[in-house]
Amino acid sequence: MTPDRPTPDHPTPNHLSPDPAAGTAAGSASQDVPPPSERTAPTHDPHLTPEARAALDGAAGWDPLVGSRRDDDPPLDVLLSGTVFFDIVFTGLDRLPNPGEELWSKGMGSSPGGIANLAVAASRLGLRTGLVAGFGDDAYADWMWHTMAHEEGIDLSASRRFRDFHSSLTASVATQGDRAMVTHGHELPEPLSALIATAPAARAAVVDLAGETTWWADLARRGSLIFADIGYDGTDRWDPADLAPLAHCHAFTPNAVEAMKYTRTDSPDRAVRALAERVPLAVVTDGASGSYAIDASTGEEAYCPAVPVTPTDTTGAGDVFAAAMVLGTLADWPLAERLKFGSLCSALAVQQFGGSLAAPGWGDITDWWRHLSDAADGGDLRAAYTRDGYCFLEEVVPDHPVQGRRRAQGTFALRSDAGKH
C-alpha cells in the first residue's frame, strides 16, 4: 500500500530524499536485533493500559471469515510489506508557524505509521495479517514492534530488526482542515525482498506499484490475490508503462486523480472502466465523492457514495478502505457491499486522530450499527434510509459485546489528547 508520506526510496516532490549524512547516522550494520521482548523479557508491559487489555480481551475470538475458512487455507489472510514510521501528530493549531516562530499545540498523539496504517487496519477487521518490514533498535522501534505484534496481533515473523539503525519518523501538524509533515529516515541496510520469501503464505497481499515488484509473480503463483495501489507521480509523466506489474494483480485501487491521469480519462467512471481492462477488480476512490468499482470475476459494477462525516484527520483513510476491500473480497461479499463497508470503515477512521490507531475495530462498527438501528426504530427517517443500505451488517457484526480499540497516545505511556482539540 502506498504510504501517506514518501519512503526513502520514493520521495514525493514536496519532500527531499533523506540525507544519510544528516541527523542521526543510520549506520551500516545489518546484524539482527532480537525483538524487545527477547531483550528485556518484561514481566509486565507498562504500555498496555487496563482499557487496552480489556479491548483485546473483548475482541478475542471474533473472526468475520470463520464461516468461509477451510482446513487448507494459508496461515495468513493478508501479507504486507513496506516502511514503518513513528508518527507524531500535533493538533489544535490554527496555523503553521512562521520561520523563527514557535507555536504550542493544544494536543499531541503518537502512533505507528506508514505501512503500519494498513497492517493495523487489516488486523482490527479480523484479518490474519503478516507484515514484512525493517525495524531499528531504538525505543521507537521497541514500542512499535510491541504495539503491532502484541497489542494488534500482527505477525512479524518475517520482519527484521537492524542493529545501529534508527526508526523513520514523521512529525505531522493538523491545521485548517489539512496537514503538513516533516519526515526523516534512511534506506534499510538490506532490501525486504529476501525477507518476503520467508513470510508465511497468505490468501492476499497488498502491494505498492512504486515499490519492489520482482516478487509479485511468485506470490501470485503461490495463490495469493494481489491488491495493488500507487502513489502520486511527482514527475507528472503518468506513464502507463508503470502499470505493467498489474499483469500479476487481482485488484487495483488508485484514487480518482491517479486513475484519471494514468488512463487519460476525464472522470472516475471512465477511469475505472479503463482499469477494468487490466485487472479483474478495479476500484477508484474519490474521497467525499464516493467510490467506483468493476469486478470482472463476478460481472458486477457498483458506485457507493461516501458516508458523510466531519473529518478530524484523514491519515490512513485509504489504507482502511483497502483493508475493508480485502476482507469483503475474501468473504465473497457482493461488490456494492464491499464498497459500502470500505466507505463506512474509512468514515469511522477519519473521525479519530493518529493514522493506524484511528482504524476502527469491530466494537466501533457494531456501535455504529446499533446506534443507527436504534435511531431508525425510533422514527428517524434518515437513519432508516441509511440502515436499508447497510442491512448486510446485521449478518456480519458480532452478536456479543466487543470493546473499541486503542487510539493514539500522547507519549509511549500516556493517552493522547489530540482528539480534544
Give the per-residue SS3 of 62-105: CCCCHHHCCCCCCCEEEEEECCEEEEEEEECCCCCCCCCCCCCC
d(CA 209, CA 229): 6
DSSP 320-382: HHHHHHHHHHHTT--HHHHHHHHHHHHHHHTTSSSGGGGS--HHHHHHHHHHHHHHHHTT-HH
3-42 tens-digit pLDDT:
444 433 333 333 323 333 333 333 333 444 554 444 333 3
* In the chain, ranges of CATH 3.40.1190.20 domains: 36-360
Q: Is the pLDDT of residue 46 over 70?
A: no
CA distance 107 to 358: 15
CATH architecture of 36-360: 3-Layer(aba) Sandwich (3.40)
What is the C-alpha separation between 197 and 218, in angstroms, rounded?
Answer: 9
Span 349-396, pLDDT tens digits: 988 876 788 899 998 999 999 999 999 999 999 999 999 999 999 999
SS3 222: coil
* pLDDT tens per residue, range 177-233: 777 889 999 999 988 888 888 899 999 999 988 877 888 888 899 899 999 999 888
